[in-house]
């Protein structure tokens, strides 16, 4: 049985790793990709998504989404991912005909309403598109199985001491999504703290296949959070969680998005003692398995 998903992304080097798994894994059925502002601007994230679609010769439709957060000005992370958003590897300029539309919200609505079975939404960038979707077409919610998102943290942040990048970029959108009344799994910064890619693990990527060679070059240009044990490939954990949730440690909680704090705007406030705990917070992955889960997932790519 495959897992039908809508992938909402701002590629992004770790997004590229997640997309590489999603588009090639036999157990994941990507119905569409929507792009969003985030790591770089919407023109660049869309170009990058199309480059990856071209690289994999994929039939999955790519739709361009929101260019800016609901209220904030856009914030980018080109210092992390390079000027293009996917530094370190040159992919050919994509043919413009690869873009299915400039209306990601409309496309998500149609994909959801036409689906035979409920679809999992996997946002791995700022939550602007998903908030706009739920505000504009609330009727789609009945066809959403769950939301498995990369964002937030049960501990400290990465863009500020309190806030994680995807939530910080558009806290109002995150607030709408967390209050949507749907099951949410928050794959935040916590997972990577215990399991990241060591430099020798990154070296090994060179020789597995063409895709891991591409990721090897990108990872060498990725200035993401580094821990003692290595590099965090945040967005890819969402795919590994979809495929192997039993290997992850989780806790149920209520999560609020801080919208006002002078020093804490964009923080995910995780309450394990609340009466209602609709969010599954992913805290860790089995350290002994992480590298193999990641490599095995990528082994399906060319």
The nearer residue to Ca ion, 61 or 125, going by C-beta atoms, is 125
Q: Which residue, judged by CB position, is nearest to ligand BDR in the bound state? A: 165
x/- binding map, residues 228-247, to Ca ion, per CB under 5 A? -------x------------
Q: Which stretch binds ligand BDR (CB under 6 A): 24-32, 160-168, 176-184, 196-204?
A: 160-168
Q: How far apart are CA 110 and CA 113, in angstroms?
A: 5
Q: How far apart are CA 128 and CA 38, in angstroms?
A: 10
The CB-of-72 to ligand BDR minimum distance in angstroms stands at 15
Of 76, 164, 175, 258, the residue at the interface with ligand BDR (CB under 6 A) is: 164
Of 65, 85, 125, 230, the residue at the interface with Ca ion (CB under 5 A) is: 125
How many residues make contact with Ca ion (CB under 5 A)?
6
The CB-of-250 to Ca ion minimum distance in angstroms stands at 21
Strands (E), the chain: 3-9, 28-35, 62-64, 99-101, 119-123, 144-150, 184-187, 226-227, 230-231, 248-257, 268-271, 279-285
The CB-of-243 to ligand BDR minimum distance in angstroms stands at 18
Among the listed residues 293, 207, 296, the one whose alpha carbon sits nearest the alpha carbon of residue 244: 293
Per partner kind, with CB cut-offs from 5 to 8 A, the member of Ca ion, ligand BDR, none near residue 80 is ligand BDR
Among the listed residues 122, 127, 140, the one whose alpha carbon sits nearest the alpha carbon of residue 177: 127
* Other CB atoms within 10 A of residue 209 CB: 16
The nearer residue to ligand BDR, 94 or 152, going by C-beta atoms, is 152
Q: How far apart are CA 47 and CA 87, in angstroms?
A: 13
Contact residues for 104 (Cβ-Cβ < 8 A; gap 6+)? 8, 34, 35, 36, 63, 64, 65, 66, 129
3-state secondary structure at position 35: strand
How many residues make contact with ligand BDR (CB under 6 A)?
15
Q: At what angle do helices 104-113 and 128-136 cross, to 10 degrees?
A: 60
Among the listed residues 146, 144, 140, 169, the one whose alpha carbon sits nearest the alpha carbon of residue 157: 169
The nearer residue to ligand BDR, 17 or 140, going by C-beta atoms, is 17
Q: Which of residues 67-86 bind ligand BDR (CB under 6 A)?
A: 77, 80
Rule CB under 5 A: is residue 12 a binding residue for Ca ion?
A: yes
The CB-of-22 to Ca ion minimum distance in angstroms stands at 13
The nearer residue to ligand BDR, 140 or 205, going by C-beta atoms, is 205
Q: How far apart are CA 197 and CA 202, in angstroms?
A: 6
Of 222, 234, 237, 241, the residue at the interface with ligand BDR (CB under 6 A) is: 234
Q: How far apart are CA 202 and CA 186, in angstroms?
A: 26
The nearer residue to ligand BDR, 12 or 230, going by C-beta atoms, is 12
The CB-of-261 to Ca ion minimum distance in angstroms stands at 23
Order of all β-strands in the sheet with 144-150: 99-101, 62-64, 28-35, 3-9, 119-123, 144-150, 184-187, 279-285, 248-257, 268-271
Q: Which of residues 99-158 bind ligand BDR (CB under 6 A)?
A: 124-125, 150, 158
Of 124, 127, 133, 253, the residue at the interface with Ca ion (CB under 5 A) is: 124
Can you give the binding site for Ca ion, defined by CB under 5 A?
A: 10, 12, 15, 124-125, 235
Can you give the binding site for ligand BDR, defined by CB under 6 A?
A: 12, 14-15, 39, 77, 80, 124-125, 150, 158, 164-166, 234-235
């Amino acid at each position: 049985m495959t897992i039908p998903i809508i992938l909402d992304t701002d590629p992004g080097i770790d997004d590229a790793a997640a997309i590489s798994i999603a588009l090639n894994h036999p157990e994941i059925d990507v119905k569409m990709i929507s792009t969003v502002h985030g790591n770089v601007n919407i023109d660049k994230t869309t170009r990058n998504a199309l480059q990856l679609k071209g690289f994999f010769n994929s039939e999955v439709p790519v739709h361009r989404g929101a260019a800016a957060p609901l209220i904030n000005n856009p914030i980018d992370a080109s210092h992390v991912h390079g000027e293009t958003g996917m530094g370190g590897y040159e992919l050919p300029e994509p043919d413009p005909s690869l873009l299915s539309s400039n209306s990601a919200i409309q496309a998500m609505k149609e994909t959801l309403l036409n689906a035979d079975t409920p679809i999992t939404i996997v946002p791995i960038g700022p939550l602007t598109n998903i908030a706009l979707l739920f505000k504009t077409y609330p009727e789609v919610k009945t066809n959403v199985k769950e939301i498995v998102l990369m964002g937030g943290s049960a501990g400290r942040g990465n863009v500020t001491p309190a806030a994680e990048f995807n939530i910080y970029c558009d806290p109002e959108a995150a607030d709408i999504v967390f209050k949507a009344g749907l099951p949410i799994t928050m794959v935040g910064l916590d997972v990577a703290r215990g399991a990241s890619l060591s430099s020798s693990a990154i070296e090994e990527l060179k020789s597995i296949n063409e895709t891991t060679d591409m990721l090897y070059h990108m990872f060498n240009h990725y200035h993401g959070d580094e821990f003692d044990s290595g590099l965090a490939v945040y967005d890819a954990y969402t795919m590994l969680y979809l495929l192997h949730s039993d290997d992850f440690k989780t806790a149920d909680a209520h999560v609020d998005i801080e919208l006002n704090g002078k020093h804490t705007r964009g923080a995910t406030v995780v309450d394990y003692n609340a009466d209602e705990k609709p969010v599954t917070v992913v805290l860790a992955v089995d350290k002994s398995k992480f590298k193999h889960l990641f490599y095995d997932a990528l082994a399906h790519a060319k």
